Structures are given as C-alpha cells and as structure tokens.
Amino acid sequence: MLKVPWVCSQCLARFATGFVKTHPRPILQRRRLNTSVDLSPSLLSRARFLAAEHLKLSAHLEDSFNGRTAKRVGELALIASALKEWDKTNESIVELNTLLNDADTDSELRSLAIEDLETSQDLLPTIAENLKQALVPRHPFATLPCLLEIRPGAGGDEAGLFAHELLRMYIAFCSRRGFRSNIMKLEVGDGSAEDRLSEAVVEIETDGTYDILRTESGVHRVQRVPATETKGRTHTSAVSVMVLPSFPETGSGMDDALNFDDPNSDYYIDPQEVRSEKMRAGGAGGQHVNKTESAIRLTHIPTGIVVSMQDSRSQHANRKKAWQILRARLAEARQDAREQELVRLRRGAMGGVARMGRGDKVRTYNYGQSRCTDHRSGITIHNLNDILDGGDSLDAIMESVRSWLIDQEIAALAAEELVKDRKINTPPAKK
C-alpha cells in the first residue's frame, strides 16, 4: 500500500504511466464499447429455433443426401455448436451455484467449485459473442473476390487528388495483406496533373476479399488545405468508394446461387437487355484502316447503368472487363435493393433501425489534426500517415467497422425476433 495517503489520484495515474508506457501506440478512442454478456431472450430463442432445424435437417440428411440441405446444415452447424456450448456453460454455472449454496459441501470441494465457477463465468462473454456472430447470416458475397471503385465526389480537383491517394492507400493495403490486385480501369481528369483521378476500378483477385473490404463502401470525406489552395483555407471534399463482388469465370464449379450464366440465378443478366456500343468514328473498317480505338460502352437498359472501358488496346479485353464490372454493379444493386427491402420491413414493424447507405458519409480524414474518424464505429485514430500507407491502423479501423456491422446485424435480428414474439403473443387488434 502507499505510504502517503494524500496523493491525488490523477498524479498517481500519471506517475504510473511513466513506467508502464514502453512504446508509443496510436491513440485509440472508442465512443461505444460493447462488452455486454447479456444475450437477449429473443436472440436465444432464434438460436434454439435454428438449432432445432439443424437437428431435423441432419437427421434428414442421413436418410438421403441433398446438396442444398447439406449446405444449410453446414451453415447451421456453427450456431448449433455455439448454442450447445452456451447451454453447457450455463448449466455448469447453475450446478456449481447449487453446490456452493448447499451447506453440506465440504471446504475442499467448495474451493474447487469457486475456481470452476470463475473460469466458467470468464468464458461466458466469449461464448455469447461467438453465438451472436454465428447467428449473423453470412453475406451472400462473403467468399468472393471484389472490385473496388473509387470516384471523386463533391470538391472538384481536390476530390480527384484525394481519390488518387485513396487508390494508393488501398493498393498498399492489398500488397501488405498479400492480396493480388490489379488496376482494371484508371481514368485521370483532363488537365496537366497526372494524379487527378476521375475514376478507378481495382480488381482484388483473392477470394473472400469482398468480406474484408466491404466495410469501405461509402463516402470518404477529406478535410485539408489542398495543394491547389492559395489562401491556406481548409477544404472539405468527398470521394465515393464502392466495393462490388467480382464473379469468377464460369465453369469453376461455383454454387448455383452465384452462377451468373444460369438464367434462374439472381445475378443473371439477360444479354438482350444490354446495349453494347463501340465508341468509334464511322467510316470504313477492317483492312482499310488501322484504328486503335478500342473503347467499349455497355448500357444495361432497365437500370440505366453504363460501363465504359478503354484501358486495354484490345476491344475483346475491354469488353470482358466491362462485362465484369457491369455484372458486379448489378449484383451489388440487386443485393442492396434486397437489403433495403428488409430494412423497410423492419422499420415498418418497429421503427428506427439505422442503416448506413452508400450515400452516407462513413469516414473523415482530417490532415490538420492528422486523424481519421470512422463515423459508424466511432473510432478515431491519430496516425493518418500510417492509414494512408495502408498500414496497421487501417486494419484497426476496418476491424472496428466490421464489429460495428455485426452489432448492427445482431440488433436488427433481436428486434426482428421481438416483433415476431409480439405478433404471436398479442392477437391482432380489431378495429
């Protein structure tokens, strides 16, 4: 114990940190930390429901094999095992408690029980967390590689310059994490500056990168004194980043849902609905001329989505890439529409479920304060250089957003279950 009782606690804390602080770390601030052990009863009931389904389906699977059922069982297995663990731990806690409350238990057993109880209780939050995560349905594109689209928004030249910096950031991030990436499309704006982006698409070929990078979709805001500013004023500009699923070539044994060639698939595009134009001057072709114009423009007529591609010298390659981007955009749009629909339903039922759309500002990069704040998870990191170099700090931000996304999903799930319960318990009101 301290000999001097009147040292102010703050001074003491400062004194202590002097010793503890060994290496500087980026300062992390979190507005909201989620460490609750509690698992809402509605979530638990959902887990039980799904586990029951798992039991039934696996019994069914023993009789007759069916690919679709097997896949569903595989998905549910995680929930079932997590729930089993949760139940087991809870049971043992109850048991130990009764043992402790029992007056007959001898002291040796009692000390063992206390020890056991402590470990079990320590374990409980992680198990609850596991269960929660297992309950969150996997994103349908989670296993896919992705396309990353960067486009400057409001802010003119400055937005273009920052878009280029974001492009560099993501490429550096990919190379640090060992993802193969290549630039599919790079368009710079008119003018002498080389690094003013007007659009870029990066293909990240590693499987599962969609899930890793999907935290990045949204509007990224930059606050700084631009290079083009003469009076030293801080400007705010925006760059929009989109992460799209990249569908593999056909015939690679993908499962049915993601096979875009199958007319029954959700991601099928009817070729009749796509207008393809060669952007080429008229006049004779073939042997008569040797045009190097290889640009292709595809227009999806029902949605009006336009993809133009001119990076490669080969028309064939441009067309292939344009189709890949068109497919990705449409798939994302369709998935988005589905999510919107879900949100609408939820909101209609209980109101006030937040969802971050593509048009929302997700992150701010402030050069003056050398900080980066993500508006979803509320994390702030004061090490902008490391983030723009695609370093560990970017990982930290993305990780925080990912857990935020999971929290959101869980909250939505819980709310949904609640609504279901209410519907069952209260008979429909009569007018």
Q: Which residues bind other proteins (CB under 8 A)?
A: 190-192, 271-272, 274-278, 281-295, 298, 310, 312-317, 319, 323
**406 Cβ neighbours under 8 A, 6+ residues apart:** 132, 133, 136
Q: Cβ of residue 55: shortest distance to other proteins, in angstroms?
A: 41
**Residue 203 or residue 216: which is nearer to other proteins going by CB?**
203
Q: Cβ of residue 32: shortest distance to other proteins, in angstroms?
A: 47
**Residue 33 or residue 281: which is nearer to other proteins going by CB?**
281
**Tokens 């990240």 — which residue?**
204
**Angstrom distances, CA of residue 103 to CA of 68, 91, 113, 115, 254:** 54, 20, 13, 18, 62
Q: Cβ of residue 272: shortest distance to other proteins, in angstroms?
A: 6
**Residue 330 or residue 398: which is nearer to other proteins going by CB?**
330
**Angstrom distances, CA of residue 141 to CA of 138, 303, 328:** 8, 21, 11
Q: Cβ of residue 192: shortest distance to other proteins, in angstroms?
A: 6
CA-CA distance, 114 to 100, in Å (whole number)?
Answer: 8
Q: Cβ of residue 323: shortest distance to other proteins, in angstroms?
A: 6
**Residue 102 or residue 273: which is nearer to other proteins going by CB?**
273
Cβ atoms within 10 Å of 108's Cβ, excluding its own: 8
**Residue 101 or residue 292: which is nearer to other proteins going by CB?**
292
CA-CA distance, 155 to 166, in Å (whole number)?
Answer: 15
**Residue 205 or residue 389: which is nearer to other proteins going by CB?**
205
Residue 237's closest CA among 222, 216, 219?
222
CA-CA distance, 253 to 122, in Å (whole number)?
Answer: 44
Q: Cβ of residue 90: shortest distance to other proteins, in angstroms?
A: 56
Q: Cβ of residue 34: shortest distance to other proteins, in angstroms?
A: 47
Determine contact, residues 363/217, Cβ cutoff 8 Å: no
The amino acid occupying position 249 is E
CA 67 to chain centre: 28
**Residue 237 or residue 294: which is nearer to other proteins going by CB?**
294
Structure tokens at 392: 């560990």
